[in-house]
Amino acid sequence: MYKRILVATDGSTLSKKAVASAIELAATCGAELVALKVVPRYPQAYFEGSIPLSVEEIARVEAQWTDSAQAQLAAVEKSAKAKAVSTKAITVKSDVVSDAIIAAAKKHKADLIVMASHGRKGIKRLLLGSETQQVLTHSHIPVLVLR
């Protein structure tokens, strides 16, 4: 059925459940799993909400975010290996998470994107938006959303 499944994670509890489901689906289908963590760039302007930092400090913060992402992906790889699922872990730097997920799915020729829905409602959804909604709206690849 599926040959390559991309699962996006942000390390949250809901995202971990989506990862577990993606691993189970990949094991059932005999599919390869592509685990993706999108790391933001440090905001560079006051209008983006940044705190003025030196170039070295910004590099340190971004490196720390990347290290954290790699640790999260290592945990995904370990869980997948326990289920005999071949896994490729990738970290992408991007300010627009939904675009990075769609681009990674295309680049790695995924048949399916698996994501968690954070279930925001009302004003929170309006203000914070939904990366999942953006992926659903713009992806040409099927998307499985788990609550």
Residue 32 has pLDDT above 90, yes or no: yes
How many Å apart are CA 129 and CA 117, to the nearest integer?
12
Residue 126 has pLDDT above 60, yes or no: no
Say what the pLDDT of residue 56 is.
Answer: 84
Minimum mean pLDDT among 4-8, 30-34, 105-109, 121-125: which range? 121-125
Cβ neighbours around 7 below 10 Å, total: 30
Q: What share of the chain is helix, strand, coil (3-state, %, to 5)?
A: 50, 20, 30
Higher-pLDDT residue of 55, 135: 135
Say what the pLDDT of residue 130 is.
Answer: 79
